[in-house]
Amino acid sequence: MSNYSEESILNFLGPYKGNRSAVLRSLQLVQELLGYVPDSALDIIAKNSNVSRAEVYGVFTFYSDFRSTPPAKAVVKVCVAEACQASGSASLISELHDKGYDIHKGNIKDDIQMEQTFCLGNCALGPAAMVNGAPIGRATCAKIFASTSAVTA
Amino acid sequence: MTKVFVSMDSAALSMGANEVAAAISEHAAKAGHDVTIVRNGSRGMLWLEPLVEVETEAGRVGYANVSADQIPELLASGFLSGSSHDSCLGLVEELDFLKNQTRITFARVGVTDPLSLADYEAHGGLKGLRNAIAMTPANIVNEVTESGLRGRGGAGFPAGIKWNTVLNTESDQKYVCCNADEGDSGTFADRMLMEGDPFTLIEGMIIAGIAVGATEGLIYVRSEYPHAIDVLNQAIAIANENKLLGSSVLGSKFAFNLEVRVGAGSYVCGEETAMLESLEGKRGMVRAKPPIPALVGLFGKPTVINNVMTLSAVPMILADGASSYQSFGMDRSRGTQVFQLAGNILRGGIVELPFGITLGDLVNTVGGGTHSGRPIKTVQIGGPLGAYLGEESFDVPMGYESLAEAGGMLGHGGIVVFDDTVNMAKQARFAMEFCAEESCGKCTPCRIGSTRGVEVIDRIVAGEDQAKNLELLEDLCEVMTDGSLCAMGGLTPLPVRSALKLFPADFGIKVEVK
Ligand SMILES: Cc1cc2nc3c(=O)[nH]c(=O)nc-3n(C[C@H](O)[C@H](O)[C@H](O)COP(=O)(O)O)c2cc1C
Ligand code: SF4
Ligand code: FES
């Protein structure tokens, strides 16, 4: 995924040229395109949006969605918020931990990465998880890995 | 031809609804049945998902918790004609859970095809907008004020009064921004409406635009809702094609354009001024008020900001009249509230009822108590900034003021149920931790106070100098309540203090709690 050029990113950001209010959307577009926001993209966005690099960097660090390194093939979001706590998310999280996944660190193992998130809007069917955008209700390790194996295969 | 409904709501998808729909197509075709599958929204009976409904002459017959591998057996048993089966619920609309509700905002969710404008109109859609087009802006605003509709996003501010301010503020450009950030744990009504009946929100926003003189609308949706974003974008495209949006709304002199904007994983961006900053492409830092967004909002222009539920109540108010909506509810809480039953609950989902039902009736009679079968220890209402309430509050009628009197907060109407295995010191600690994690960082009490709060709670639980540390925690809570710019820091003490007050034993407290 790292075979991008400054030109290809600029092409992609074309519609936002000179638009100071498009910093967030530019970051989102780059992440959509590449899976993450490489350091060099911050300069490209700054130039394209006509703002300082510091400003772009500030936006990049404020929002937890952005990543500075490529994600795993399968990204699992695991809900850590209250309704899922009430439905037993703690034991799910510790089982995942035993399998080598720390949702707080988001380490990558076997093409899978697990990350914590605060509420997925599936609070009546917790614990809730999401694998590359596909929701899993009443989540168990078995359900999660069945879903990840479909994307990592 | 038999019509079969399988929901495409995220909650249904999370339980395998796509696989069920695919299996029905495949096996019905093999068996030579002529079947049309409609991907509707969810009825909100989430514990029954995937719910499959078959259209029969008597009405829609439901089958609960259907799995893909059950389909051949269901087909063989004749479920396409609504035959009985272990999973058969009978007529869906006769189920107590639904029959006892007053569905106004959610009237069409789960009933119609979310992306069929024809279906929308056939079920009462666009009537409110047509009425609004024939009215003066001031009269539209008046109707909303008269209905008693208050903001459903948390603060409960009267919608009509906000609209009136924007209407009366001169500007070359005004905006309508829909707050669809829905970050509160235990809430999912916004998501279900956007996925299950997006035209209602679109219609509500157009009416708001006509009422205040705004031609641009933005919906700020959190990134955790990819499916809702997808459905909204499809619905907006359909609305544009059908001239519901664009330079001449339904052939009138009014223009209205609508766009979806996506958040990036920040809870505080649900706060309205942080949302505006985010919409302007910046960090989601809360702005000082005044000026209020109704005067100085997006890009400095007068802006209506309302929650999805607030805006989605508007079409019905304009269709049936303010007095119809106003006739529901109690005291200053008018109309219906879309409650969300969440957490450890047997029958979790959407319960739309007039304000006034008691908390106990909601969680026990309607919700059926806990999913685990254990006793309820506490419920948290109104998201992570909401208070924990115990059984002694189960007589409280659900309304803005009545809940506030009981020390709680309605917020966005989410109710999270916990059984007796929960440790409240952990919940209090989590509230502080969450605040530390999600604080925008603008004010010290919120940014630093929450981190200190975690440490102090840890020391209390460890039994270190409890009297002194309890006093310290109390001081911290006071400083956060009084010294925070917004409700993030200002309300975090609510869950902390209520947990401590109700369940001191969980903190290992050996001294008296003041
Ligand atoms: C930390 C914080 C988070 C909030 N999150 C949301 C949210 O996700 N959705 C929402 O509609 N309102 C949220 N609010 C309330 C908004 O600031 C605002 O009151 C609301 O969007 C106004 O719309 P309404 O009058 O229709 O409720 C939040 C407030 C705070 C302080
Ligand atoms: S209370 Fe917290 S979130 Fe609100 S403005 Fe202050 S620092 Fe930001
Ligand atoms: S709290 Fe976990 S999905 Fe809402």
CA angle B144, B150, B156 (to 5 degrees): 155
Least confident of A1-10, B37-46, B156-165, B458-467: A1-10
Q: How does pLDDT run across B419-441, given as a tens digit for each residue?
A: 999 999 999 999 999 999 999 99
Task: List the one residue out of B468, B131, B151, B115 whose CA is nearest residue B333.
Answer: B151
What letter would DSSP give residue B49? P
Domain with CATH 3.10.20.600 in chain B: 329-419
Nearest CA in chain B to A26: B281
Q: How far apart are CA A146 and CA B421, in angstroms?
A: 30
Ligand 1 neighbour B489 (Cβ under 6 A): no
Is domain B424-507 annotated with CATH 1.20.1440.230? yes
Global pTM reads 0.97
- A78 and A58 in a common domain: no
**CATH number reported for the structural domain that contains residue A89 in this entry:** 3.40.30.10
To test the pocket of ligand 3, the residue of A120, A125, A136, A138 to mutate (highest count of ligand atoms within 8 Å of its CB) is A120
Q: How far apart are CA B15 and CA B8, in angstroms?
A: 11
- A85 and A55 in a common domain: no
- A82 and A46 in a common domain: no
At B511 the pLDDT is: 61
Interface contact flag, A24 B384, Cβ < 8 Å: no
Q: How far apart are CA B176 and CA B219, in angstroms?
A: 9
Q: How does pLDDT run across B54-69, given as a tens digit for each residue?
A: 999 999 999 999 999 9
- A81 and A46 in a common domain: no
Q: Is the pLDDT of residue A12 over 90?
A: no
- Ligand 2 center to B471 CA (angstroms): 23
Task: List the one residue out of A118, A98, A95, A114 whose CA is nearest residue A106.
Answer: A114
Q: How far apart are CA B243 and CA B207, in angstroms?
A: 15
Task: List the one residue out of B195, B231, B213 whose CA is nearest residue B312.
Answer: B195
* B144 alpha carbon, closest ligand: 1
Structure tokens given for A116:
């914590």
- A85 and A58 in a common domain: no
- Total count of domains within chain A: 2
Confidence of residue A10 (pLDDT cuts 50, 70, 90): confident
Complex prediction ipTM: 0.96
* Chain B touched by A150 (CB under 8 Å): no
Q: Is the pLDDT of residue B46 over 70?
A: yes
CA distance A53 to chain B (A): 13
* Chain B touched by A53 (CB under 8 Å): no
* Chain A touched by B262 (CB under 8 Å): yes
Ligand 1 neighbour B487 (Cβ under 6 A): yes
Side-chain half-sphere CA neighbours of B471 within 13 A: 4
- A96 and A30 in a common domain: no
Boundaries of domain holding A46: 6-62
Residue position matching structure tokens 């222009």: B301
Q: Is the pLDDT of residue B514 over 60?
A: no
At A1 the pLDDT is: 42
Question: Which strands sit side by side in the sheet containing A74-79, from one edge to the other?
Answer: A108-109, A112-117, A74-79, A129-131, A134-136
Domain membership flag for residue A69: no
Report the Cα–Cα distance between both ends of chain B, in Å, rounded. Answer: 68
For residue B67, the one-letter residue type is S
Average pLDDT over residues B255-262: 98
CA distance B349 to chain A (A): 6
Q: How does pLDDT run across B432-489, given as a tens digit for each residue?
A: 999 999 999 999 999 999 999 999 999 999 999 999 999 999 999 999 999 999 999 9
Average pLDDT over residues B38-42: 98
CATH number attached to the domain at B117-326 = 3.40.50.11540
Q: Nearest Cβ partner of A119 from B49, B185, B279?
A: B185
Q: DSSP strand E in B393-447: where?
A: 414-419
Least confident of A11-20, A87-96, A103-112, B19-28: A11-20
Task: List the one residue out of B495, B418, B408 whose CA is nearest residue B450.
Answer: B495
- Residues B204, B208, B209, B211, Cα dihedral to 10°: 140
For residue A66, which residues of chain B lie inside 8 Å, CB to CB? 264
Domain membership flag for residue A44: yes
| Secondary structure in 3-state letters for B450-482 | HHHHHHHHHHHHCCCCHHHHHHHHHHHHHHHHH
Interface contact flag, B14 A86, Cβ < 8 Å: no
Ligand 3 neighbour A23 (Cβ under 6 A): no
Q: Is the pLDDT of residue A5 over 90?
A: no
Work out the mean pLDDT of chain B and round it to a whole number: 97
CA distance B269 to chain A (A): 10
Average pLDDT over residues B269-293: 97
What letter would DSSP give residue B288? P
Q: Nearest Cβ partner of B14 from A23, A59, A122?
A: A122
Domain membership flag for residue A1: no
For strands A112-117 and A108-109, give the pairing. antiparallel
Mutation target for B interface from A28, A36, A37, A62: give the one with most B CBs within 10 A. A62
Q: What is the CA radius of gyration of chain B?
A: 24
Is domain B2-99 annotated with CATH 3.40.30.10? yes
- A147 and A86 in a common domain: yes
| Sign of the four-CA dihedral A104, A107, A110, A113 | positive
Average pLDDT over residues B156-171: 98
Domain membership flag for residue A79: yes
- A83 and A121 in a common domain: yes
Nearest CA in chain B to A67: B264
- Ligand 3 center to A84 CA (angstroms): 5
Average pLDDT over residues B304-321: 98
For residue A54, which residues of chain B lie inside 8 Å, CB to CB? none
Q: What percent of chain A has pLDDT over 90?
A: 86
Domain with CATH 3.40.30.10 in chain B: 2-99
Task: List the one residue out of B11, B193, B14, B191 whose CA is nearest residue A134.
Answer: B14
- A90 and A135 in a common domain: yes
The full DSSP string for A104-146 is: TTT-EETTEEEEEES--S-TTS-S-EEETTEEESS--HHHHHH
At B270 the pLDDT is: 98
Confidence of residue B106 (pLDDT cuts 50, 70, 90): very high
Element (H, E) at B166: helix B159-167
Q: How far apart are CA B378 and CA B506, in angstroms?
A: 13
Interface contact flag, B182 A62, Cβ < 8 Å: no
Domain membership flag for residue A104: yes
For residue A125, which residues of chain B lie inside 8 Å, CB to CB? 11, 14-15, 46-47, 49, 348
Contact present, B83 and B77 (Cβ < 8 Å): yes
Nearest CA in chain A to B222: A120
Q: How does pLDDT run across B335-351, given as a tens digit for each residue?
A: 999 999 999 999 999 99
For residue A22, which residues of chain B lie inside 8 Å, CB to CB? 281
- A107 and A51 in a common domain: no
Assign B434 to helix, strand or coil.
helix
Mutation target for A interface from B282, B308, B440: give the one with most A CBs within 10 A. B282
Q: Which of residues 168-227 of B touch A (CB under 8 A)?
A: 182-188, 191, 223-227
Q: Is the pLDDT of residue A15 over 90?
A: no
Helix and strand numbers (H, E) in chain A are 7, 5
Assign B303 to helix, strand or coil.
strand
CATH number attached to the domain at B329-419 = 3.10.20.600
For residue A81, which residues of chain B lie inside 8 Å, CB to CB? 185, 384, 434
Domain membership flag for residue A29: yes
At A4 the pLDDT is: 72
Mutation target for A interface from B8, B13, B14: give the one with most A CBs within 10 A. B14
Ligand 3 neighbour A136 (Cβ under 6 A): no
Ligand 2 atom index nearest CA of B439: 3
- A128 and A80 in a common domain: yes
